[in-house]
């Protein structure tokens, strides 16, 4: 493929935050990342990481990002090719993602991160480009951020007139075998059945995760994910299989670990135990979002 010339933005003079300062903390300032905070917020870590990467890339315009997105296969050999990834990034999507307004899908995150990494490498903002190998860590952070966002929404769902209104899923009535799977994971998992019958989209998604972690329910789990995704449950879309097959059990367990972490942060011990058992987590402290690797 013939090389093309791009107007790559120069790197800003703002000093780069040290990797150790990327542990998100309390307070209202999204850019302040105090070292003394004992726990990290997955949402704040993800937002800070993507803002940091965008700044290191020189805050490129959407046209520059899309020029790189068009050539991703040239820069990064991608498993599965481009068929599984978006072919462009809308201006509004890029602005919302890098400014922390919304969490992207896993595919959209992949193309944004790869394009920004390439841009940063070309303009000197990044001394190294981890390529597609860095996407696993980004996707882990995204899963944890979405799980935390879902836990936060559930915590606010019954708190007066200002609670956020969310779309409901199609009511789900579980089969006896599916109920047995939930019962095996404890009282929180058992209670999901009643919530799913009321069309609670988060419950439908969580049921799909619990079912997909085991065997024999992969196709039904995929159907529940379609239901939750249609209702706007963002994490569910990232777990959907690429075709009409079963849900990837390994990925389902990664979602379970993220849900366990979020539940633990919000003090829901029963939910944390349910998803730990599903995701084969140790019974001790759930994982924290990792600091950024040095670039």
The pLDDT of residue 8 is 54
The pLDDT of residue 78 is 63
> Is 227 or 11 the better-scoring residue by pLDDT?
227
Q: How confident is the model at residue 131 (pLDDT cuts 50, 70, 90)?
A: confident
> Is 8 or 242 the better-scoring residue by pLDDT?
242
Taking only the tens place, the pLDDT of each residue in 18-58 is 222 222 333 334 444 433 343 458 888 999 999 999 999 99
Query: Does the pLDDT value for residue 289 go beyond 90?
Result: no
Q: Phi and psi for 289 in degrees, rounded to 5?
A: -60, 135
The pLDDT of residue 129 is 86
- Separation of alpha carbons 68 and 112, rounded Å: 10
Taking only the tens place, the pLDDT of each residue in 158-201 is 544 444 555 788 999 999 999 999 999 999 999 999 999 988 89
The pLDDT of residue 212 is 92
Cα angle 124, 125, 131 (rounded to 5 degrees) comes to: 90
Question: Which of 126-130, 137-141, 168-172, 291-295 has the least mean pLDDT?
Answer: 291-295
Q: How many CA atoms lie within 13 A of 264 on its CB side?
A: 24
Query: Does the pLDDT value for residue 272 go beyond 50?
Result: yes
Residues 39-67 as b or e (16 or more Cβ within 10 Å = b) = ebbbbbbbbbbbbbbbbbbbbbebebbbb
The pLDDT of residue 283 is 34
The pLDDT of residue 215 is 86
Arithmetic mean of pLDDT over the chain: 76
pTM of the predicted structure, to 2 decimals: 0.56
Q: Phi and psi for 33 in degrees, rounded to 5?
A: -120, 75
- Separation of alpha carbons 277 and 253, rounded Å: 10
The pLDDT of residue 9 is 57
């Amino acid at each position: 493929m013939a090389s093309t010339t791009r107007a790559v933005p120069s790197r800003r003079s703002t000093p780069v935050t040290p990797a150790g300062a990327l542990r998100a903390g309390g307070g209202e300032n999204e850019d302040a990342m105090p070292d003394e905070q004992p726990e990290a917020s997955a949402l704040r870590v993800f937002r800070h990481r993507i803002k940091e990467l965008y700044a290191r890339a020189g805050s490129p315009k959407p046209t520059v990002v899309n020029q790189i997105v068009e050539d991703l296969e040239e820069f990064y050999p991608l498993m599965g090719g481009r068929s599984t990834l978006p072919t462009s990034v809308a201006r509004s999507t890029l602005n919302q993602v890098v400014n922390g307004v919304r969490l992207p899908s896993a595919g959209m995150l992949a193309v944004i991160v790869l394009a920004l990494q390439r841009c940063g490498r070309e303009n000197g903002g990044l001394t190294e480009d981890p390529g597609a190998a860095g996407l696993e860590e980004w996707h882990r952070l995204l899963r944890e951020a979405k799980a935390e966002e879902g836990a936060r929404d559930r915590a606010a769902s019954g708190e007066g007139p200002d609670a956020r209104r969310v779309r409901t899923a199609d009511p789900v009535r579980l089969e006896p075998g599916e109920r047995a799977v939930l019962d095996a994971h404890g009282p929180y998992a058992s209670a999901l059945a009643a919530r799913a019958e009321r069309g609670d989209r988060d419950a439908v998604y969580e049921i799909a995760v619990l079912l997909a972690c085991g065997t024999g329910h992969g196709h039904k789990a995929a159907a529940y994910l379609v239901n939750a995704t249609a209702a706007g449950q963002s994490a569910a879309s990232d777990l959907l299989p690429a075709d009409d097959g079963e849900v990837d059990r390994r990925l389902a367990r990664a979602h379970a670990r993220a849900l366990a972490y979020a539940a633990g942060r919000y003090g829901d011990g029963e939910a944390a135990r349910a998803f730990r058992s599903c995701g084969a987590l140790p019974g001790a402290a759930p994982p924290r979002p990792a600091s950024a690797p040095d670039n």
